[in-house]
Amino acid sequence: MVGHAMQQLDLPDRSMLMIENVGNLVCPAAFDLGEAHKVVILSVTEGEDKPLKYPDMFRAADLMLLNKCDLLPHLTFDVDKAIEAAQRVNPAIQVIRVSATTGEGMGDWLAWLERSRG
């Protein structure tokens, strides 16, 4: 599907195409779509155990976005434990804490995207 879409899109030079897979931490790691980077999004509402439950995606990812960080005061989510779990399966994974509500980490995320364009 991505290959067919790429044939139909008229992307300008230095464009960035993002391929999103919603709701599944298993399948995206199993297939090479020709992407330059894999980014996994872990919402703090999901639990810090996800990197150990679904290690393939975290092992394949270059970056973990720790999402919805504005909710942390209302949850028992352990940020350090989540990062440690992700780094246990992928010592090289980078982590950026983000919140679309407050804007936390968005500058870092955009800078990472810009650096990753190659």
Per-residue pLDDT tens over the stretch 84-118: 999 999 999 999 999 999 999 999 999 999 999 86
| C-alpha distances out from residue 70 to 41, 46, 57, 81, Å | 15, 14, 24, 18
Q: Is the pTM value of this prediction over 0.75?
A: yes
Which domains are delineated in the chain?
26-116 (3.40.50.300)
Per-residue pLDDT tens over the stretch 24-48: 666 656 677 778 899 999 999 999 9
